[in-house]
Each structure stands twice: as structure tokens, then as C-alpha cells.
Amino acid sequence: MPKKAKPAGTGQEEGPAPCKQPKAEAAGAPLALNFDSPSGFFESFISPVQTETFFKEFWEQKPLLIQREDPALAAYHQALFRLSDLKSLCGRGLYYGRDVNVCRCVHGKKKVLNKDGKVHFLQLRKDFDQKRATIQFHQPQRFKDELWRIQEKLECYFGSLVGSNVYITPAGSQGLPPHYDDVEVFILQLEGQKHWRLYHPTVPLAREYSLEAEDRLGRPAHEFTLKAGDLLYFPRGTIHQADTPPGLAHSTHLTISTYQSSSWGDFLLDTISGLVFDAAKEDVAFRAGIPRQLLLQVETTADARRRLSGFLRTLADRLEGTNQLLSSDMKKDFVMNRLPPFHVGDGAALSTPGGQLPRLDSIVRLRYKDHIVLTVMPDQGGSDETQEKMVYIYHSLQNRRETHMMGSEETEAHGLRFPLSHVDALKQIWSSSAISVKDLKLATDEEKESLALSLWTECLLQVV
């Protein structure tokens, strides 16, 4: 295991431990990123820190600085996005605000220097050189294949959307004032160097973005300089600011962010509506009317609070006593808005069924399992009075990379729905590395073959 040392510049015992890559490895190939599986990728992404150590000691707890003195890895980082890439990218129809922000931190405040309309490279470079402005490039994975490849694997690993921004800052300048974010952050230094100052959170695991006044910051908890090839992680809520040291070349870094609105509180809000829906269908107490004029009262009465507490206990008992799939809009939102599977070429394999047609005696298995979610929801086509639960399968095979994380862009759900009676058969397919169609838990052979054929037609199933 590489030797760990304390960060320079703070002298504090609790600082994140930089992990120095042994110089013996610096002359060879870069630390290889393993794209064979999501877990293998993340293990290589934070190498040499072990995944178990990362989640036990750092995730949602404190920053981690990994300094890797590997020229080949630095070259790989530099190729992800360079200042020189902007010229060709501007030719693809970029717009201020949507794709690019131009800004500078002046006296602790963010000054936005955007023009109107389309981004022209010469003007962008002029603002960069003369106004010492930072260029913030939104969601570069829409244009850069290797970032698509990286972020797609991270979305599979975390089961959460993964966005990114590139920040290009000239020497002796700072783009953003001190602030904290509502996302878990991984920083990759791509070009040059960046001087970072991190401060203890005022709102641990913050649920929203916020600026922090300079006069309230105090001394940094951690202070260090990132170089090309280095990686920095810090939890949401960590107050931070960064500048490019004077007298050096410009800095380019990539911010990869995840776990926005993915807390237990968010999951509870998402899940409880389905629990209440089910309980109200089966328990008349949930359908009884609230007291007259309850909504007109300034404060909730003690009796109403007791009734609500009792309903919540009933829901908790129901939840602990079932292994049924829970309704989840979070699942649907995630799969609708995430990246499609990484591919080279036109992606025909994602839209055209391939291989042998499944029959009753076929052995089948799922394709693109990391890009599919299975959930139960009220039938979207039924009326409120007659809504029955259906099994929904949503997938991201047809998602558009070009709209990834661009919140204003319209997205569409892709998938299939089946009667609730199909849920056990679908669970069998999900939990098996391969299964015979005739062994599916459905009443008739016709239903078994029809289910397999539907999944195959959607490119979600293959005959082994």
C-alpha cells in the first residue's frame, strides 16, 4: 500500500491523507481505469485507496486528497478536456448560460461576464486573456466520449445521476466565491495547478447550494495545490474555494458530482406516497375524513397529531412486514435522465434486437442490467377510482446523451409495463444469471413466451 502523508500547509492532524503513487510506476502505463464493471471502475478511479476504506472513512464524512505522481496518468487527465478544445467545440453551436458561463470572483462575489446568444471562440478567449475570467463548461460528457464513458460507469456504480463541469481559470485568478454544494464532489485536475482551500461545513450534507461570506470562513481546515493527475473528493456541504496560482499556466479541472437529492429523507418522501396509496385501499381508517375545520386551524390539534402518529406506525408495520416492490418515482426519474450505455458508432445494438428469438425452451438472460429499473406503480392510464398497480420496466437504452443533465431539456420514459401477476417472473429474470423461459412463474406457457419476447424486442433480453 502506498505511503500516506498529511497534507502540506495546515499542520492539522485531521487533514485528508494524500496518497502518493510510487515513482516506480510513473515510468510505465497510467493507473489503468478498469471499465469491465462499475465496481471495478470505481476501485480504479480512486486507486490506490481501497473502496472499503473510502466508504468507511471518507464518504459523506471528510475530504480525501489523492496525489499521484504519474506522468502517464497526468497525460490521460489532460486529454479529457483541454483549453485548446474550446475552438472546435464553439463550432458546434454553444450558447452562453446553457453551455458556457464566463465569470470571475471579485471581492468575494461572483461576477458573470456572459454575452448574449451564441458563444464565439475569439470573444471567449479575449475574456479569458484580458479579463482573467474563468470559463465554466457545462456537462462536457455531451461532447467528450471518454467523459461519457467515465460518467456512465459512475452512474451504474452509484445508482444516481452523475454530472460534470469543466473550469478553466487563468493564472492569478479565481472563478467562484466560497460556497458549498448539495452534491458529492470528485475533482480531477486536468491541466496546470489549482490552489484549494476547504473549510468545515456549517450545514453538513447540505441539501442546497449556498454562498459563504469571506468574513465568516475563518482559517481553512485543509489547504493544498492539485496538479494534473490528482484527485480530490469532498462531501456535500463542504465550503470551498479555489484559485490558479500566479506566475503559472492556466488551470483546467473537472468537477464530477453525484448524489443530489438522494438522501434517506428524499427516499422516504418518494416511498411514503405509495405506502399510503396501498394502505388506503385496504384499511378504511385511512379513508375516513379529517375533522371538520381542521384545515382552518392555525395549529394542528393534539388529537390530529395522535391520529397521524398512529397512521405512521401502521405504515411502518406494513413496511416491515412486506417484501413487495415499492413504488418509486426516484427510480423512474433516475433512469429517464441518466446517460445511455457507452458505445462506439451509431448504437444500433441498443435499438435493434439481436440474436435468436426466445422460445419456451430457450435459456435467457438480461442485457444492460445496470441500465434497467423494475418498479410497481399505479396504472398510468387508469382513472383515480380504478387504478390498479402495474409492473413497470424503465431503461436508458434510448436516452439521448446530448440532453444529459440539461434540466430544461424534455426527457422521455422508455420501457414496458406488465400486469402485477408478472412480478415474480420478472424478479426471477433479474436475480438469475440465466434462466429457462419455461421455468418462469407464470400461469401459462403463452404468458411465459410473451414476456420473454417483449423483453427481447426491447433489447433487454438475449438467448444464451
pLDDT tens figures, 134-190: 999 999 999 999 999 999 999 999 999 999 999 999 999 999 999 999 999 999 999
215-247 tens-digit pLDDT = 889 999 999 999 999 999 999 999 999 999 999
pLDDT of residue 411: 77
Is residue 103 pLDDT above 70, yes or no? yes
* 311/330 Cα distance (integer angstroms): 24
* 304/290 Cα distance (integer angstroms): 8
20-60 tens-digit pLDDT = 433 333 334 355 799 999 999 999 999 999 999 999 999 99
pLDDT over 70 percentage in the chain: 91
Q: Considering the entire predicted model, what is its pTM? A: 0.91
pLDDT of residue 381: 63
pLDDT of residue 409: 65
* 156/224 Cα distance (integer angstroms): 31
C-alpha cell at 308: 397521524
Give yes or no for a contact between 151 and 164, defined as CB atoms under 8 angstroms apart: yes
Higher pLDDT among residues 13 and 229, named by residue: 229
pLDDT of residue 12: 40
* 89/449 Cα distance (integer angstroms): 48
Is residue 5 pLDDT above 80, yes or no? no
pLDDT over 90 percentage in the chain: 79
Is residue 391 pLDDT above 60, yes or no? yes
| pLDDT band of 382, cuts 50, 70, 90 | low
Domains present along the chain, CATH in parentheses: 38-258 (2.60.120.650), 265-316 (1.10.10.1500), 329-463 (3.90.930.40)
Q: Which string of DSSP letters, residue by residue, matches 24-90?
A: GGTTSS------SSHHHHHHHHTTTS-HHHHHHHTTTTS-EEE----HHHHHHHHHH--GGGHHHHH
